[in-house]
Structure 1
Amino acid sequence: MGATEPVAGEGPAATAQTRLADPLEARLAAMERQLRDLRAAVMPAHWASLDRVEALLPPGRPLRCPVCERVAPRDSLEIRVDRDMFGGGRLERYICAGCGCGFGPTKVMEAPEALLNADYTLLYEDYRESDGTQSELRAFGMLGAFSGPVLNWGCGRWSRSIPTLRAGGHDAWGYEPAAPPEDGSFIVGARGAISPVFGALFSNNVIEHMVDPLADFRFFHSVLRPGARMAHASPCHDWLYAHTRFHVFFPMGDSPRVLAERTGFRVLDQQREGEFICTVYERV
């Protein structure tokens, strides 16, 4: 029997022509599905690989607390394990016996900054946090009286606190590295754009993302005036919302005081009402 003759209109070239003839909307939808599938595969595969590597490390390897810098063998610390809701695999964290803070997973805290930035960018392509405007304004209210501009640290793209405060006569600005600022939004995305003129600083649901809280607080000290106050609100002052790899620092126990004293601040107050937990600091 002879070879089957090709049918007109079939073959790779015809398939490509059919694809090009598809409506533009359908082609764009297909590309978006492919990108989502790629994101859903690449990041979980990356973190799963790190989990396998971490399982091979010595159980007594030394770990350093990001606040008091106490060094202790891993297996001497209280270990708490969760699973990441965003596909980041196993989340192993530690409770410092010195200051009481929770920190980890180390696979996130030790990741290159460029990788972490890319991870946040991919997260916010599909994920939108709830509007934290009211909690931000509540944290702002804990600052008391001050003069000069105020900085909303890690303000995000969805908060309405900056326009609300500016409408009320406050010189409010925002910093958000994971969401490109829009022109006229009074938000900057680079630390180098922040001048050392601020009379106050506040944040909501940000402190738990600090990979290096000592470095961040020292930066705050550099941009705040002497005597300026800052308020950081987060439910992660307790062991809450541990099911995401993006939460790497839990300022529990005595760690707010230790963090303040090591970076040129002092703790003035801490307010707790349900999951709203806010610590107020003063630059000394």
Structure 2
Amino acid sequence: MDWDKLRVFHAVAEAGSFTHAGESLNLSQSAVSRQISALEESLSVPLFHRHARGLILTEQGELLNRTARDVFTKLAMTEAQLSESRERPRGPLKVTTTVAFGSLWLTPRIREFLDLYPEIQMSVVLDDGELDLAMRQADVAIRLMPPRQPDLVQRHLMDMHYKLYGTADYLKRHGTPKTIEELDDHRIVVYGDESKPPVDNINWLLEAGARADAPRRPVLKVNNIYGILRAVQSGLGIAALPDYFAREADDLVEILPELRGPSFDAYFVYPEELRHSKRIAVFRDFLIKKIADQETQA
């Protein structure tokens, strides 16, 4: 099978059109179309259904594209590993983590990392879902729960706890609760029902110390921890938030410090085949140092 034609086919399959594939390959639309027609002729099977709205892979095209994707993914991985055989880490590094952790904790520290390793081209994908590392949707993940995928290397980074927070402005207007029962008289912000929560029993605040005949009603539900933080920072109410938030957002005031909600752990995760990657090793070591510095200062 002709590798040039296979490369063009894969680009068309991923882009969904000759035009977009041509732009990525720096080829004309007609040149791309000729390559695909020649490949179909050599294989004696149609690879695409052609219609006015674009291209759709045939069953045979789907089979070929799955194989092509695997091949080009492995080639890209090999190319990155070969480029790292030099003395300094270099090349692309795609990191994924949750919206809250990435926005509040990770991205403010990226500048220092890239100052240390300017030859690494870094991208960060913030997603509360789990990207598939085995399919190279990302090279590294910082997960706030143990990874479920097989064949992943994991390193524990830190443990976190949910605590109770408000702002000085809110407490000035509504008073500071001195007992857990006094939370009945306050505005509570909780996690919404529309998506899977990051930890079990995340809305424990609605039940902690509440009367059985008068359960607490939240003033707002938000299905994202970062959204809850922003609501609290606006002075809307009180919420349970991970304790690393308070270290990063200096306008939070801890309330009832004896209260402890759910706890969870952060893990550094990457595929087994990238175990010897210098880019990943230096990024892991950088994070571990930042966390150790943070705990020393606490």
Does the alignment reach a TM-score above 0.5? no
- The bucket for the TM-score relative to the shorter chain is 0.3 to 0.5
TM-score normalized by the length of structure 2:
0.31
Comparing both structures, which one devotes a greater share of its residues to helix? 2
Larger Rg: 2
